Each structure stands twice: as structure tokens, then as C-alpha cells.
Structure 1
């Protein structure tokens, strides 16, 4: 499989999801608006799913179905899965992560599995706290880090830190929270707008 590019929006939302529920495992889906060219995958967005009972199959299946319908309406597709484990020192894929990632590869063979490394998520850490896997010969193996791109990492990191410090991470809605209150928007348009505002050239970023 070729290169994977992770957008500012996708990273910031994953980071804020993990920060909003620091004592829980969290997970979500990675989305793309681009058709892969030459094996490359551009992750342009993500949908935060759960912060409790990650292995609960019925809720996961419901979420996958609804996200898939929304993607078909917005010219997007599910291209991967992310997870942060409850223990900051544990960044290994769980059986739940592998199972969901396997399911995604049935629809998109170049799907990626991304684990957030909780031990490296401090605002001043110099490299993205992500560990990415790809599927080869029916197994998930570590992806070559030289094929993973997160452009403008310092700017992306600054936006994530700024939103956390200002309390904007509390605006983020995962599918779990939506099920508790269906008026909450799991597509997170408010958060998307805030990230776009902070990343505009007017604000000196990107």
C-alpha cells in the first residue's frame, strides 16, 4: 500500500476525542473525500464513535451503518479506523480494533488502522502520537512511518492545543453522546468550522 496523508481536521478531532475522555478508550472512523491515486489514501476527516463499551457490537454496527449512509450523501468514504486505549501506556490494537478494521477492509482494501499513543500526546511532543497499521496477507502490520504524512504538523499541533486550552474540545460529539441526546450533531460541523477558522491564513496558520 502507498502513502497515507492525514489532514489537520482529522488529527485534531481524534486528539480532542481522546482528551475529552482521558480515562476511557475511544474510537472512530477515518474518512476520505479523495479517490485513492496510485495507492495513496488521503484521510480528510473522522467520525468519533464511542467512549464506552468499545467492543459492544450492536452500537458499532449501528454507527457504521449511519456513517456509511451519510458518507454516500456527502461524497465521502470510510477508509480506516482509529482507537486510543484507556491506558496511556498501551497503544496496541485490541481484538475490537482488529475486528472493526477487518470489516472496513471488506469495503476498502487499502484501509488503515491508526492507534493514538497516549504516552506521547503532550502538547510539546515533537512528532505525531500515532501508530499506523496496514493489512498484508490477512495480518495487520506496522506501516512504514516514512509513508505517513501529516503536513504542517506544528500548525496542526498548535490548533489542537489551542482548542483544548479554550475548552472547545467539549464541543466535540461522538456517536455515544449522540445516542444519549439525538439533538447532538455527530458530524461535528461546529468543530469543523472552528478548525477551519483557526487554520486559515488570516490567523497565521497553514
Structure 2
């Protein structure tokens, strides 16, 4: 199945890693569901930046995001992670465990690893590696089946928001647990990304 990353999902993954550069970060990838032979990752929910291996917090986050997704007619279809080590973008046991759990409910789930070392503003290619589950193992997905439309505009938006400090608006579930008034659905940040993306993309 072809997988398309929207501007919204990519930029938020990028900003999550940029917001906590010294930490491993992770999150959930969302989609309205498959359309024909493809699936669009329309949004993501940043989860954690300091407590990745803690199962109870992950379980709590998954439950809350699942309820919210049902209200928004979305579903959890994947997982992303950026490792603390700049040079290591391999899936960790934590990444595999959470991705496996998602795959139990959605067989076409994807696991996206963000390559932190390639997140510079000069980088011309998307700094991500996408895995799919085949025969019980996570294997690299064919690059021909991964699409990021309007990549140049998306890259420019991500770099602009990072350079302007807008990434500090991003709230992950970790930050929400520290202060429950903070919005882990990131409506304010979403609006800024949508505003920048709409003239270039027509939609996000």
C-alpha cells in the first residue's frame, strides 16, 4: 500500500524532534483510513520526550488518543520516533513494541524513524525512514511507495517554524501530563501550519 505523508504530519514530527533535540521523542500517526490503494498520514500526535520506555504512560496516551480519534473520525495507523543519538535511526525495542501494538489493530501500520542527523535546513531529502510489518518483522518499505507531495514547500514550512521558535508551541503528551491545561492536540500549532501550507498545497 502506498503511504503519503501530509505537510501537517511531517512538520509536526520535525518540530517535535527539534523541540527536544537532546531527547528521544515519539508519537502516533493518524489517518482518515485507506482510500483505494493508498493511505494518507494526515496528522500526528506527539507523545513523549522523556519517558519513552514507561508502559503505563504510553497505555494512557494510546487510550486518550484513541477516544479523541473516534470523535474526529481518524484512526491510529502508525508510530514515529526520533532517537536521542543523532547517528542512530534504527528502531529501538520500545519503537517495535508500540508499533507492534498498533499493527494488532491495523495490519497496514507503518513505523517511521526520524533521522535526526539529517534534519539540517540544507538537507534536500526527507530525513525519515519508513518500515512496514511483513511476516512478523518490521522491514524497510519500498521508497517508491512513500510519497511526500509538495516536499519543497513542506521543507520550507518546517524550517521556517523551527527558525522562528514556533516549535516551542508544540505540546506533547509528556508536557500535558506536567500541566493538564496544555493542549496535546496542538490546535494553535495546527492552525499555523495550515495557514502556511494552504497557499502552496491547497490543503494539508
Instruction: Indicate the TM-score class for this superposition, using the shorter chain for normalisation.
Output: over 0.9
Please say if residues 39 and 110 of structure 1, whose CA atoms lie closer than 8 Å, have aligned partners that are also in contact.
no
Deviations 1:75-111 (A, max 9, x none): 0000000000000100000000000000001111100
Q: Is the 8 A contact 1:29 1:46 kept in 2?
A: yes
Does residue 24 in structure 1 map to residue 19 in structure 2? no
Q: In structure 2, what is the Cα distance between the partners aligned to 1:183 and 1:13?
A: 20
User: What TM-score do the two structures reach when normalised by structure 2?
Assistant: 0.97
Alignment deviations for residues 32-67 of structure 1 (CA, whole Å, 9 cap, x no partner): 02x313442110000000001211000000000000
Counterpart mapping for 1:39-188 below 5 A: 39-188=37-186
TM-score by length of 1: 0.96
Instruction: Structure 2: state its 5+ residue gaps.
Output: none
Aligned length: 201
**4+ runs deviating over 6 angstroms:** none
Structure 2 distance, partners of 1:107, 1:153, is: 30
CA RMSD of aligned residues (A): 0.8
**1:3–1:147: 8 Å Cα contact kept in structure 2?**
yes
Structure 1 residues not aligned, in runs of 5+: none
Q: Could you tell me how far apart the structure 1 residues matched to 2:160 and 2:44 are?
A: 19
- 1:199, distance to aligned residue in structure 2 (A): 1.3
